Amino acid sequence: MKTRELYNLTVRRFNRVGIPDADFESELLLRFFLDLDRTGLFLDERELNDTELEKFEELVSRRLAREPLSYIIGEHEFWSLAFEVAPDVLIPRPETALLIESLLELIKTPSDFNGTILDLGTGSGIIAVVLALELPQAQVVAVDRSERALAVAARNLKRHGVAGRVCLVQGDWFLPLQPRAKFDFIVSNPPYVSERIRLSLQPELEFEPKSALYAGDDGMEAYRRIIPSSRPHLNDGGSLLLEIGYDQEKMIRRLFSDIAELELIAIKKDFNGHPRVALARTVDETRVRR
């Protein structure tokens, strides 16, 4: 069977079971398998032998079982960069770019900013890596309770040349930090999916780490820990930025209303018009250097 025939067959099989973007996913899987770029794939006229077809069928079968493509090929693109992903970490979502953009908008001169940033629940390390690249003089600390996730993050830091400027720390939210550790920014994309809707979600999510996805009956458990504990670890004028669920704005506002030391400045909407990023600032007159 030739490459083009195999591509067309894979598209049909993916469509048959309802895999979204079957054309694109078939292309990525074949490119990964044959080690070709997009142009090379569609110019390729080789005849695949039986051994190659058997090996490719193993990959196709995994995707037909709804294992995420990113886990099969071992990486995912985010911020126009390739990141290693594995079942120990969440697959990056495009909505998280808004979280990073919201932080960068608060800094007048990114090349001069030499402050400190804390990334809570770093997972694969995508937020820490991007911030280290965009803010070349910043100091970044990235925390995660999963040793396996931190191993993936460490490889991504090395892959993108920022391992020397990001400190990885194992522990549960703020617990591994020194009591007096303070930062100009705290940023987090914590678990925020409600356990109640788990059975109604796409089957691919069952392959992702549950502790990084689900946060109790209402999806708010992580916020109830992070928000009240943030102020002691923020410099005066510092900011807290959180990715939130599309249906959590009212609950998030209620949480911040109980914290006198933090003021909720804005809740930003994503490209679908859903509330996605909560931005808060310490209540004081001074402001961190930007």
Write out pLDDT tens, residues 30-86.
999 998 888 888 777 778 899 999 999 999 999 999 999 999 999 999 999 999 999
Residue 290 has pLDDT above 80, yes or no: no
Report the C-alpha gap between 45 and 51 in whole angstroms. 17
What would the pLDDT profile of 248-278 be if each residue is shown by its tens digit?
Answer: 999 999 999 988 899 999 999 999 999 999 9
Query: For the whole model, what pTM was predicted?
Result: 0.90
Residue 220 has pLDDT above 80, yes or no: yes
Tokens of 196: 């109640």
- Residue 2: predicted pLDDT: 83
**Banded model confidence at residue 197, pLDDT cuts 50, 70, 90:** confident
- Residue 44: predicted pLDDT: 77
What percent of the chain is predicted at pLDDT more than 70?
98
- Residue 226: predicted pLDDT: 96
- Residue 38: predicted pLDDT: 82
> Which one is predicted more confidently, 244 or 38?
244
Give the pLDDT mean for 113-136. 97
Q: What's the mean per-residue pLDDT of the chain?
A: 92
- What distances in angstroms separate CA 59 from CA 38, 52, 89, 264, one per listed residue? 19, 11, 20, 46
Grouping H, G, I as helix, E, B as strand and the rest as coil, residue 86 is coil
- Residue 40: predicted pLDDT: 80
- Residue 14: predicted pLDDT: 96
- Residue 3: predicted pLDDT: 86
Closest Cα partner for 249 from 228, 220, 222?
220
- Residue 230: predicted pLDDT: 94
In this structure, are residues 99 and 277 in contact, taking their beta carbons and an 8 Å threshold? yes
- Residue 199: predicted pLDDT: 78
Q: What are phi and psi of 212, to 5 degrees?
A: -95, -5
Give the pLDDT mean for 87-116. 95
Neighbouring-strand partners of residue 119: 142, 187
- Residue 196: predicted pLDDT: 85
- Residue 42: predicted pLDDT: 78
Give the pLDDT mean for 84-103. 96
**Weakest mean pLDDT among 98-107, 132-141, 199-208:** 199-208
What would the pLDDT profile of 133-185 be if each residue is shown by its tens digit?
Answer: 999 999 999 999 999 999 999 999 999 999 999 999 999 999 999 888 999 99
In this structure, are residues 46 and 3 in contact, taking their beta carbons and an 8 Å threshold? yes
Q: Determine the number of helices (DSSP H) and then strands (DSSP E) in the chain.
A: 10, 9
- Residue 254: predicted pLDDT: 94
